[in-house]
Chains A and B, each alone.
Chain A
Amino acid sequence: MPFDMVFAANGGASLTFDLDFFLRFVFQPSPALLSGLAITIYVAVFAQLAGTILGTLSALAGMSRLRLVRAISGIYVWFFRGTPLLVQMFLVYFGTPYLLGGLDLFPRDVNIGFINLRGAILAGLVALSINEGAYMSEIVRAGILSVDLGQTEAAKSLGMTYGLTMRRIVLPQALRVIIPPLGNEFNNMLKTTSLMSIIAVEELFRVAQAANSATFKAFEAYFGVALYYLALTTIWSAVQGRIERRLGASAGRERQPGLWARMLGLSRSRDGQVGR
């Protein structure tokens, strides 16, 4: 009885799904969608790279002997992990030019060497990088701390300086601990780039919004773009699994099941039973 009532009250609601539009949206992507896909991918990649470098520097600063350097790292991590990325993005894009007396920090076109990009994209990239750096700082820190102190002592006893010890001995070993969470961070990053839509960066989600505005086919557009994100994260998961298995193999550990095996429930746990 309740179901009938609802349908009746809605004036005989029916499922409206424009399959034709949806299939075209997904499988015959418009130039705008492809361009959005490209922006999403390259912003994610560069923000993750920059964030990882920033995070490594911050982690090292956090272990400095100098209290001031430690404090700077601490405040950085505290602020950027403790405030919303959305707010940070506004702060960078609208706030900093205002702070600098109306300086046009992010003009329509930015030329860095031979690279030409929209100012808004640069602002988004900066905000995502700084935010990511704060999270990577903790991850890198945990990685460094996971390396046995004896390694540092052995390197020191051979006359290695701090920089050499970090670069050649500690960080390569920390990588094993850093890589899995780094992979998860990048998975997040691929999706978080969608926040740039609110500062008018024409990435994937913004293109879907535009498609919705033009056609009012909200479900088809948003579900279509969701599939694009899903494809990106799925491909990345496979790549990540491959990297981690290679790392695990070089550590002499047993081969871990791959993504498909896990998803389809084909993986076997160590005692030989089929896992879930």
Chain B
Amino acid sequence: MTTIANDILAAIGGVPQTASDVVVEAIDVRKSFGRLQVLKGVSLTVGRAEVVVMIGASGSGKTTFIRCINHLEKIQAGRISVNGHLIGYREANGRLIEDREPNIARQRREIGMVFQRFNLFPHLTALGNVIEAPIRVRGVPEREAIETGRALLARVGLSAKEEAYPAQLSGGQQQRVAIARALAMKPALMLFDEPTSALDPEMIGEVLEVMQELAREGMTMIVVTHEMGFAREVADRVVMMDEGVIIEEGTPEHFFTAPEQERTKAFLSKIL
């Protein structure tokens, strides 16, 4: 286990882990849908500029977990904080009470999310999608938002598609617009929920490339994916979930050469 800890330290650049270097801190998170418990006590700490890839069979709870991080899902127990702020709840008399909606909305500004099915706004152009939240939520002047939006679309290689509507774009292009849209809010953390699972195989590369570039620039990222190539090349740490708990975590190297848990081995042998 100490080797894993060292690996983590190495991953965040050897900097001693002080409080400000922690972006996400999840402690003993529990979540049920009705009587079905999908998260049975998940704890995870993600350092600044760290890229964590979450793997596991479908139904293992990884998607639910990252949806809890920006409070798209309520949790029944535990706590999640991002940049030191408790997400979705506030503490009163030692108990957690769900926060008011405007406060939750404010917390979400810091957390970008990319969805499996893109969820672009179909009635807005690519540029319109990117500038909507900065203007309406952050109050950025329109001209400035457009400038930033254009730069972001250029960064994901879609300068030529500014005025295109989502229906006129390929899946890969849509997902790249979605990434630009999330980045426009200048988030401290990016969550990726199986960003390539709904794409045709020939479009997966272009999206992963953008994500890899983002990681290189120092973005803190949690990525749920089945793309093991991406995990191997980009992840600082891989986390394996099974039946609502984290059963193993470590460097990509650890995972792809010497996984410890039987269930990890079984999962990897199926997917690789």
**Closest CB of chain B to A263's CB: distance in Å?**
32
Is B140 an interface position by the 8 A CB rule?
A: no
Assembled-state Cα–Cα distance A166/B213 (Å): 34
**Given A154-B119, A158-B108, A160-B137, A168-B101 contact (CB < 8 Å):** no
B72: chain A residues within 8 A (beta carbon): 153, 156-157
B167 touches A157 (CB 8 A): no
How many A residues face the partner with a CB closer than 8 A? 19
Q: Of all chain A residues, which has the CB nearest B71?
A: A156
The answer to whether A252 and B119 touch (CB under 8 A), given A157-B112, A157-B182, A164-B136, is no
Q: Which one of A159, A164, A169 contacts B121 once the chains associate, using CB atoms below 8 Å?
A: A169
Contacting residues, chain B, for A3 (C-beta < 8 A):
none
A272 within 8 Å of B (CB atoms) = no
Interface residues of B in 121-175 (CB under 8 A from A): 121-123, 132-133, 136-138, 167
Q: Mark B87-117, 1 if CB is under 8 A from A, else 0.
A: 0000000000000011001101101110101
A-B contact count (CB 8 A): 64
Q: How far is the CB of A204 from chain B (nearest CB, A)?
A: 39
Residue-wise interface mask of B (3-17) relative to A, using a CB-CB cutoff of 8 A (1 in contact, 0 not):
000000000000000
- Is there contact, CB below 8 Å, between A168 and B136? yes
Measured between beta carbons, the chain A residues less than 8 angstroms from B132 are: 158, 168
| Residue from A156, A159, A160, A169 whose CB has the most chain B CB atoms within 10 Å | A159
A161 to B137, CA, bound (A): 8
B167 touches A151 (CB 8 A): no
Q: List 18 A-B contacts (CB under 8 A).
A: A150-B117, A150-B119, A151-B121, A153-B115, A154-B119, A154-B120, A154-B121, A155-B121, A156-B70, A156-B72, A157-B70, A157-B112, A158-B137, A158-B185, A159-B108, A159-B109, A161-B102, A173-B123
Report which B residues bind A (CB closer than 8 A). Answer: 70, 72, 101-102, 105-106, 108-109, 111-113, 115, 117, 119-123, 132-133, 136-138, 167, 178, 181-182, 185
A160-B137, A168-B136, A173-B123 are known contacts; what are 18 more A-B pairs with Cβ within 8 Å?
Answer: A150-B119, A151-B121, A153-B72, A153-B119, A154-B115, A156-B72, A157-B72, A157-B112, A158-B137, A158-B181, A159-B109, A159-B138, A160-B105, A161-B102, A162-B101, A164-B137, A169-B121, A173-B121
